[in-house]
Amino acid sequence: METIKNSEIFKKFSGIAASLKNSEIENWKKQGGKVVGYFCPVIPEEVFIAAGLLPFRMRGTGSTTTDSADVYFKTVNCGFPRHTFNLALIGEYDFLDGFVANTCCDTILRTADNWKHAGLKTPFIYCLDNAHASGELMVGHFHNQLLKMKDAVEKQFNVEITEQKLKDAVKLCNETKLLQQKLYELRKLPNPPITGSETVAVMVAGMSMPKEQYNKDLKILLDELGTIKNEKVYSSRLMIIGCGHDDTLLCDIIEELGGIVVTDQTCFGTRTMIKTISEEGNDTLLSIAGYQVLDVPYCPKTIGTHPQRKQLIMDLAKDYKVDGIVGQCFISCDPWAGELYLLKSELHEAGIPFIWFEREYIPDLVGQLRTRIEAFLETINQI
């Protein structure tokens, strides 16, 4: 196999990532299965899996307008939930049997309210109060919130989420995380057998289909990647940090210009798999809470966690031998804008070239992005 693009498994993953509805979901629904959409990785998919549900990560893939959503949101609100909600309003999320938002930001929080107000036919609508700071005290708070969500899921879907089912779900999702870690390990090679754009497709597919099948497919893909000898020379190795990253825009631009994206710190990337959840103990829900609050507090919407994020970014930059970092945030996402502003001086002091910019979720100024990234790559290559 000369390239991953010849892989049938990769073609499957790429197709799933390129749209909302896919054959895996259709088969699941035909067998009587139910699907729950969720916005943020702080919402633990393990709870849904333990309930026999298929968790589906919400995104705005395929959206071209927010005209319908703008009846409910102001145009100054973040484009990510607006485009996603717009797709729901026009029927693209009709396959959902449940929708779970969370309190990570006001716009996503209000999406749950507007979902109800719009009269969408989704039977189950819930908003999880996620942790807003790190520390042991917050673990207890988040544990209580997860217990409330568990009870609501059990009542709505007439199921019992037992301790053993939670343990099995954690084990399954940990297997996914470990396989994805192996995928990222391959990107540390001087000539990675998979590009940044291709990795995005693989990661997004893992949040859009049953985990059991995804794990089987990913194992095959990893074996195939082991046979690829990539001899392409790249001008620079880059890392992407910031929000979102369920599309390949930045990776496409960077890789068309001769660079390669080798890692990231985003909520569709390493944020979801950089660590595993403890499988020890007798309270798995408490382990999940501890994992989210103490182990991976990598979102700037979590108060007081900038030092952890900074250290993670520095560690990733070293481990993946990056030549520069590209930061992005969606317009109106103030927490990420503030985070990237802080990182600008810190990365400069560390001698790591860095550029960041705000962009619309569905980009409208691609030419400007390309010009700025091209100039950034030229600067790196002159160092």
**Degrees to nearest 5, angle at CA 378 with 376 and 382:** 115
Rounded Cα distance between 333 and 358, Å, is 9
* Rg of the chain in Å (alpha carbons): 20
Helix (H) or strand (E) holding 52: none
Q: Does any domain span residue 312?
A: no
Residue 281 · residue 224 · CB < 8 Å: no
Q: Does any domain span residue 27?
A: yes
pLDDT at residue 285 in the model: 98
* CATH number for the domain that contains residue 96: 3.40.50.11890
Q: How crowded is residue 347: how many other Cβ atoms within 10 Å of its Cβ?
A: 23
Q: Does any domain span residue 355?
A: no
The position carrying tokens 């802080």 is 342
**For residue 45, which amino acid is it?**
E
Q: Is residue 340 classed as helix, strand or coil in its secondary structure?
A: helix
Enumerate helices (H) and strands (E) in the chain, giving the number of each.
Answer: 14, 8
Rounded Cα distance between 288 and 278, Å, is 8
Question: Rounded to 5 degrees, what are φ and ψ at 233?
Answer: -100, 130
Terminal CA-CA length for the chain: 36
Distances (CA, A) of 247 to 12, 242, 257: 16, 13, 18
Q: Is 148 left (phi over 0), alpha (psi -120 to 50) or beta?
A: alpha
Strand partners, 237: 260
Q: Quick one: which of 86, 77, 70, 84 has its CA closest to 40?
A: 84
Q: Does any domain span residue 122?
A: yes
DSSP class of residue 56 equals E
Helix (H) or strand (E) holding 217: helix 211-225
Helix (H) or strand (E) holding 351: none
Outline where DSSP puts E strands in the chain.
35-38, 54-57, 98-102, 124-128, 237-242, 260-265, 324-330, 354-359
Residue 88 lies in domain? 23-161
Pairing of the two strands 54-57 and 35-38: parallel
Residue 133 · residue 159 · CB < 8 Å: no
Q: Does any domain span residue 214?
A: no
Q: Does any domain span residue 147?
A: yes
Residue 322 · residue 265 · CB < 8 Å: no
pLDDT at residue 383 in the model: 64
Total tally of structural domains belonging to the chain = 1
Q: Does any domain span residue 370?
A: no
pLDDT at residue 224 in the model: 96
Q: Which tokens go with 81? A: 């939930």
- Summarised one tens digit per residue, pLDDT across range 137-186 is 999 999 999 999 999 999 999 999 999 999 999 999 999 999 999 999 99
Residue 48 · residue 54 · CB < 8 Å: yes
Q: Which tokens go with 149? A: 């969500």
Contacts of residue 151, defined as CB under 8 A and 6 or more positions apart, other chains included, come to none
Residue 383 · residue 353 · CB < 8 Å: yes
Q: Does any domain span residue 316?
A: no
Q: Which tokens go with 266? A: 């985003």
Residues of the chain with pLDDT under 50: 1
